[in-house]
Amino acid sequence: MEKNHWTVKMAVCLMMTLMGGKAMAQQVSYSGTELAKEGAWCWFADPRAIRVKQGKTDAAYVGYIDNHGAVRALQLDYKRNTSEEVLVRSYFQPDDHNNPTFLALPDGRIMIFYTRHTDEPRFYYRISRRAGDITCMGDEKIIEVENNTTYPSPFILSEDPQHIYLCWRGIGWHPTIAKLSMPDANDDVKIEWGPFQMVQSTGARPYAKYQSNGKDKIYVSYTTGHPDNELPNWLYFNTININAGKEPQLCDVNGKVLSTISEGKFKVFKRDDYKQQYPLTVIDSPENSRCWVFQITTDKEENPVVAFVRISPDKKRHEYYYARWNGGKWRITDIADAGKWFHQSLQTENCYSAGMAIDPDDVNTVYCSLPTKNQSGKEVYEIWKYTLNEAGVVTTKEAITWNSEKNNVRPYVLPGSVGSDLRVVWMNGDYYYWLKCSRFPDGYPTRIMGQLESGAASTVSPMKKAQGETSVRQTISLAVNTAEGVKSVEVKGKKWCVDADMHLAEGHATGALLQVSDMEYGVDAETQKPYLKVGNKTYRSVSKLGNSDDWVKANGTDGKWYYKPLTNFHLRIVRKGKSVTVYRDGLVDIKN
């Protein structure tokens, strides 16, 4: 593949130095610490994970969607040294494009966005009822728009702190932006400006990544279109200047105004005359390669830094690149040979590279998923850490995982996570397709892994599960078969835990299911959603008691819903004083 602009590639003697070799000596193989047994994400909806250190909160949040269509999130509370996995929404489209994204609101609450992939004109969101605690989420809310919604990326900027700027793939399958009001007392928001399509490409589907400086700008890097359909496929860059509360403008990398966003789309082309007219909007313009973008961030001087891949015409060779704006031009470094597509389905999505990520807190550090032979000679994708110097030359290469049995792919570094336990996360496992459907019924049976700074070689998280195992005075285990009627148990005291294996007989899955002292757990007949009555108060789940496994009957994203009721699940109710938490198969579902 040809090199454009100033491309740096230097052969260096690279040593595998993870933990000074100590961890390698301790473990024959290492694929990371398991954070979630099931989960996946695409790489265009971000931030898929964040660390929030604000007020009394110091926590990390990681979002993903499992192979059964459940939108899920992990909360690692560093102050309490606890971890909780939360059911954000069950029975969603089982598609890895639908991973949730996070936004920390000014009052400390956490807002979680999620959408279906391409076939529905709406956003879903939930907001935590307490600052920093997603184990107690508010109701599911909806933002209706006129066009499809995929890949929500939300931002709050200090020069306009009364609004949320939301970017996504929307109008005409192109980069789209809207300005939302802050949530009101009922968690409702409204669109106050937009949505507007920002650019118009000659390609049908430009793919965009976003980042902000947190103050007055949002940076966007995007392609001509999907690399499957575009050869060559160029990579572009723009700045969205919110313009101090006036009409936001689209600019080039040096701030030259290209358009007022609300007045019309800025047209981009992959032609020499376009590049001559707008040279500071183009990062890479290969003659015979397919670009795809993985990440955009900024260095300490707010110069943009972009991770991207070039893919050969036959899609069998993928090469990772790193582009950094130096004030006058893009300096491009060839990082590594990425092999080819990482997944098991050879006849589709051959542009799916295994993934790369820049550390936003140290942009000279890049994590790459690369094909690597394990001890048995099998080629597996492992996570590698690359370090560059200020001249853009790779100086070191370190193994983060090694001798894995299954692929480690799509790494991501939590922004703002310096000094915290969890910094890097990735997916591990088999991957057949981005959607669980009739053509690919196995979908994406992956799990979420991470590198924990306090014990990177450990396979057990130092966080304790906050599900009552060690802090309750009594635990009762039982089996509940609804064919036998409502089961009742008496539990005394203010600290207890009830575990129940629930077996729902056909036609008996609604109404009261379990009576625990003065509490009643059941399922609403109309909504198919669980509830918990505590005295005269009722707390309701937003998630139906079912999953999306029947999506295997569908051929793709068709706008329909395929609901499969649960017949068996594990229920846990934990009481600690006035606090009551209901877990469904280990996930927080209801909390008062």
139 CB-side CA count, 13 A = 9
Per-residue pLDDT, 460: 38
The Cα 289–Cα 292 span in angstroms is 10
The Cα 253–Cα 239 span in angstroms is 6
Strand order across the 163-169 sheet: 150-155, 163-169, 175-181, 191-197
DSSP 23: H
Per-residue pLDDT, 467: 54
The answer to whether 134 touches 75, Cβ cutoff 8 Å, is yes
The Cα 501–Cα 91 span in angstroms is 21
Residues with Cβ within 8 Å of residue 297, at least 6 apart in sequence: 211, 304, 305, 358, 360, 363, 415
**Nearest to 409, CA basis, from 316, 320, 343:** 343
Per-residue pLDDT, 469: 47
**Nearest to 334, CA basis, from 250, 417, 290, 393:** 393
Per-residue pLDDT, 479: 76
3-state helix, strand, coil in the chain (%, to 5): 5, 45, 45
Per-residue pLDDT, 245: 77
pLDDT in tens, the chain (592 residues): 434 333 333 333 333 333 334 444 457 999 999 999 999 999 999 999 999 999 999 999 999 999 999 999 999 999 999 999 999 999 999 999 999 999 999 999 999 999 999 999 999 999 999 999 999 999 999 999 999 999 999 999 999 999 999 999 999 999 999 999 999 999 999 999 999 999 999 999 999 999 999 999 999 999 999 999 999 999 999 999 999 879 999 999 999 999 999 999 999 999 999 999 999 999 999 999 999 999 999 999 999 999 999 999 999 999 999 999 999 999 999 999 999 999 999 999 999 999 999 999 999 999 999 999 999 999 999 999 999 999 999 999 999 999 999 999 999 999 999 999 999 999 999 999 999 999 999 999 999 999 987 543 333 355 566 554 445 566 777 777 776 778 899 988 889 999 999 988 765 678 899 999 999 999 998 999 999 999 999 999 999 999 999 999 998 898 899 999 998 999 999 999 999 999 999 999 999 9
The Cα 217–Cα 157 span in angstroms is 8
The Cα 517–Cα 494 span in angstroms is 11
The answer to whether 335 touches 322, Cβ cutoff 8 Å, is yes
Task: Give how far the C-alpha of residue 11 lies from the chain's centroid of Cα atoms, to the nearest Å.
Answer: 34
Coil vs helix vs strand at 465: strand
The answer to whether 367 touches 400, Cβ cutoff 8 Å, is yes
Strand order across the 318-325 sheet: 6-8, 330-339, 318-325, 304-311, 290-298
DSSP 26: H
The Cα 206–Cα 200 span in angstroms is 9
3-state secondary structure 276-294: HHCHHHEEECCCCCEEEEE
Tokens 């600690």 belong to 576
The Cα 124–Cα 100 span in angstroms is 10
Give the helix/strand (H/E) hosting 274.
Answer: helix 272-277
Give the helix/strand (H/E) hosting 25.
Answer: helix 22-26
DSSP 508: -
Per-residue pLDDT, 264: 97
Pairing of the two strands 208-212 and 217-223: antiparallel
